[in-house]
Amino acid sequence: MQRRRILKLIAGVAVSVLSGGVARAARVVANFRFVRPPGALPEHEFTSACIGCGLCAQVCPNRAINYFSPGAGKKANTPYIVPRTKACILCMKCGAACPTGALKKITRNAESIVQNVKMGHARVDKTLCLSYQGKTCGVCYRACPLQDRALKVGMLEQPEVLGECVGCGICERSCIQIPQAIKVIPTHLATA
Amino acid sequence: MTVIPLQKKLNYLRWVALATVFSMLLLIPFLYLYQTFVAAHAYDYLSSYEKLVYKFGEFVSSPFTSDPKEALDALKGTTWIGRLFGLDLADPLAAVANTAASKRFYWPLWTMALIPIGLTLVFGRFFCGWLCPATFIYELNDNMGAWLRKLGVPVSRRRLNRSMKYFVLAVGIAWSVLMGVTVFSWIYPPLLIGRELNYAITLGGFGAGMVFFVLTLLFDLLVARRGFCRYLCPGGALYSLLGHFRLLRVQRKAEICNDCAKCNAVCQFGLSPLTDRFTQECNNCTACIQVCPTDALSFALRIQDQPYQGPGHLGRHYARHRHDGEVPEDGKTAQLAASTGSGRI
């Protein structure tokens, strides 16, 4: 009798603790806008190639990379970047560290980055952008690591995204307007 | 006594190894934080806790390197995939799982797994006993189970079917192939430990993998002793298969064995050194070598276990059987010895 009661107690505690954890895991579903780290394979290949080792985040000097929890299904334990929280600084260390080739190894120079990195593409919302509203801003252009290749500014610092934008998200990170007038549209959303 | 005294001490060395691996898994995320602080030139903007981390990182790394931002990249990862002083290593299960899930042969990963595979071919399932960070917790959990048992709290010691873990491995691989997902990364305890510690330290909080790990701890405590490792762990299954013809294995010398069965009692994997049945499951943890009162157990270079050698020649059962002149049936003597022997725990 004693034994049964103790077992019941332990089982009860275990179930309550676990259900809390499971609920938390289930809540964190991938319903927010994220980009994959630079050099990622196409989305379905990426989720199958990634083994969830966590190395890419451990070498990221900007602490930009985070991971999905098991509630995210196929995406579980795979890395993502939310540009507004922390943007990629295109250092290319994650690709060098990735042991499975889910992130390609890319040398760190502008040519190779422009050719190989396709995290997403920035888009300017002209109804929100301060420069288009007559208040000269240009912060995104100043922040862009690929100035005049990915982003150029015209009259009154009005930004215009060019074809070579790699979607690093530093413009979105730096935009002083709330909500952000320039946002990265992730590649996996654009192609889907 | 033909046994080298060193072999009796190996179990202590094993605990040192386990503790070292575990503390490395704690150290590496903190060193990573230190790296990011250095990279950001951010000391003045850190919180008091982060300043503590910075000073700790400086204290640990400054004797070895003057450029922590780059040099500390030589120490990364977990036991799943890790870089140990510049040497890339991978768990063989990682290579298998990746090949199954992505359906392509990515050879750099297999070269990383080459050294662990080679060591496993020689030392068998040694990862499970000597390196696995989950084993560190599981053994402490098992000791706690022994304490609870002493205090009268019921701790179950069920025996299940060992081949379940090969089934888990097979199903995991099949699932990976079908769904294109590395399912082992959800349930493999050493990976969970490494990753969850990393999450907790660098990303601010445990992930849901910790829930599963706690579940396995409860399973070990309430259902079967070291149950997950024995019956369910897919990595243990793979290591067991690789270590089937391992070169180095614990063997019994029947001449000086006294059938006390302490080895059977101390074996966390529930094997039977007393009847020479180490099998591919043995993880060379050396606990039985340490506990043997007559030094009858020691390492030997063989690619197969000796067949059952009969009862120990120092035991009273052996003497009786000698008078009768009959050969005991396999296992029967062992049960007798286990029931009368003074096995601990």
Q: What is the pLDDT of residues B51-69, one digit of tens each?
A: 999 999 999 988 888 888 8
Task: Assign B72 to helix, strand or coil.
Answer: helix
Structure tokens at A163: 């074809």
Contact A114, A164 (CB under 8 A): yes
Residue A122 maps to a domain: yes
Residue A34's Cα: distance from chain center in Å?
4
Q: Which is higher by pLDDT, B157 or B134?
A: B134
> How far is it, in rounded angstroms, from Cα B315 to Cα B294?
11
Q: Let me know if residue A101 belongs to a domain.
A: yes
Has residue A114 been placed in a domain?
yes
pLDDT digits (tens, 9 = 90+) for A8-47: 777 766 666 555 555 445 445 557 889 999 999 998 899 9
Q: For residue B308, what is the domain's CATH number?
A: 3.30.70.20
pLDDT of residue A19: 57
CA atoms within 13 A on the CB side of A77: 26
**Does B29 lie at the interface with A, CB-CB under 8 angstroms?**
yes
Residue B343 — pLDDT band, cuts 50, 70, 90? Answer: very low
Residue of chain A whose Cα is closest to the Cα of B81: A53
Tell me the two tokens of residue A101.
């080739």
Residues B151 and B226 in one domain: yes
Residue in A with minimal Cα distance to B191? A53
CA distance A80 to A78: 7
pLDDT at position A123, please? 93
Query: Of the ranges A58-62, B1-5, B67-71, which is most confident?
Result: A58-62
The two structure tokens encoding residue A47: 């989720």
Instruction: Mark whether B122 and B241 lie in a shared domain.
Output: yes
Q: What is the DSSP letter of B79?
A: S
State how far residue A191 is from chain B, nearest Cα, in angstroms: 20
Any domain includes B278: yes
Are B135 and B189 members of one domain? Answer: yes
Statement to judge: residues B95 and B204 lie in one domain:
yes
Task: Find the Cα–Cα–Cα–Cα dihedral B210, B211, B212, B217, rounded to 10°.
Answer: 90
Best residue in A10, A53, A78, A80 for a mutation probing chain B (most B CBs within 10 Å): A53
Taking the CA atoms of chain A, what radius of gyration do you get in angstroms?
21
- pLDDT at site B320: 60
Q: Is residue B97 part of a domain?
A: yes
Domain identity same for B223 and B284: no
User: In chain A, positions 44-103, which contact chain B (CB-CB < 8 Å)?
Assistant: 44-45, 47-55, 57-63, 66-67, 69-71, 74, 76-77, 93, 97, 99-102
Of B229, B246, B263, which residue is a domain's last? B246
- For CA atoms A90, A91, A94, A100, give the dihedral sign: positive
Domain count, chain B: 2
**Do B216 and B194 share a structural domain?**
yes
* Tally of CB atoms within 10 A around B29: 23
Q: Which of B106, B203, B207 has its CB closest to that of A100?
A: B106
For residue B23, being part of any structural domain is answered with: no
Q: Which two tokens stand for residue B256?
A: 């000086």
What proportion of chain A, given as a percentage, has pLDDT over 70? Answer: 88
Domain termination site, one of B246, B276, B309: B246
- Overall number of domains in chain A: 1
Yes or no, beta carbons of A24 and B90 under 8 Å apart: no
Domain extent, residue A91, equals 33-190
Range 33-72 of B in CB contact (< 8 A) with A: 35-36, 39-40, 69
Interchain contact B74–A (C-beta under 8 A): no
Q: Is the pLDDT of residue B322 over 80?
A: no
Helix B164-179 to helix B234-242 angle (10° resolution) is 110
Residues B89 and B237 occupy one common structural domain: yes
Nearest CA to B264 among B336, B332, B159, B334?
B334
- Inside any domain, residue B37: no
Which residues constitute the domain of residue B281?
Answer: 248-340
Rounded mean pLDDT, B70-77: 87
Of B77, B179, B203, the CB nearest to A53: B77
> Which residue reads 């259902």 in tokens?
B223
Look at A31-35, A187-191, B20-24, B255-259 and tell me which has the smallest mean pLDDT. A187-191
DSSP B88-126: EEE-HHHHHHHHHHH-S--HHHHHHHHHHHHHHHHHSSH
Distance from CA of A90 to the nearest CA of B (A): 14
- Interval B83-87 mean pLDDT: 89
pLDDT of residue A18: 59
Residues B222, B97, single domain; the answer is yes
In a domain, A21, yes or no: no
| ipTM value for the complex | 0.81
Token code pair at residue A88: 């990629």
Mean local confidence (pLDDT), A94-116: 92
B149 — pLDDT class (breaks 50, 70, 90): confident
**B157 and B139 housed in the same domain:** yes
- CB distance B26 to B201 below 8 Å: yes
Q: Inter-chain contact A22–B211, Cβ cutoff 8 Å?
A: yes
Supply the mean pLDDT for chain B: 86
Which whole number is the average pLDDT over A108-130?
A: 92
Spatial neighbors of A124 by CB under 8 A, at least 6 apart, are A132, A159, A160, A161, A181, A182
Same domain, B138 and B154: yes
Q: Which residues of B touch A53 (CB under 8 A)?
A: 77-78, 80-81, 94, 185, 191, 195
Q: Are residues B94 and B209 in the same domain?
A: yes
The helix or strand, by DSSP H or E, that contains position B181, with its residue range, turns out to be none
More confidently predicted of B241 and B71: B241
Quote the Cα angle for B292-B293-B294, to 5°.
95
A18, A44, A52 ranked by CB distance to B182: nearest? A52
Is residue A4 a part of any domain in this protein?
no
- The distance of Cα B282 from the centroid of its chain, to the nearest Å, equals 10
Note whether B127 and A84 are within 8 A (CB).
no
The pLDDT score that the predictor gives to residue B27 is 93
CB spacing of B77 vs A3 below 8 angstroms: no
Domain end (from B195, B222, B246): B246
Which residues does chain B have within 8 Å of residue A57's beta carbon, measured at their own beta carbons?
A: 198, 202-203
The per-residue b/e assignment along A72-111, b for 16 or more CB within 10 angstroms, e otherwise, is beebbbbbbbbbbebbbbbbbbbbbbbbbbbbeebeeeee
- The amino acid present at B65, given as its one-letter code, is T
- In angstroms, the separation between the Cα of residue A130 and the nearest Cα of chain B is 30
Query: Does residue B316 lie within any of the structural domains?
Result: yes
Q: What is the enclosing helix (H) or strand (E) of B250?
A: strand B248-252
Query: Do B150 and B267 fall within a single domain?
Result: no
User: Residue A139: its pLDDT value, please?
Assistant: 93
Beta bridge partners of B82: B77, B89
| Cα angle: A63, vertex A67, A72; to 5 degrees | 160
> Does residue B327 have a pLDDT over 80?
no
pLDDT score of A1: 55
- Per-residue pLDDT band at A185 (split at 50, 70, 90): very high
* Contact: B202, A21; criterion CB under 8 Å: no
pLDDT of residue A144 exceeding 60? yes
Residue A71 confidence class, pLDDT cut points 50, 70, 90: confident
- Tell me if A59 and B181 make a contact (CB, 8 A cut-off): no
Nearest to B93 by CA among B189, B184, B210, B198: B184
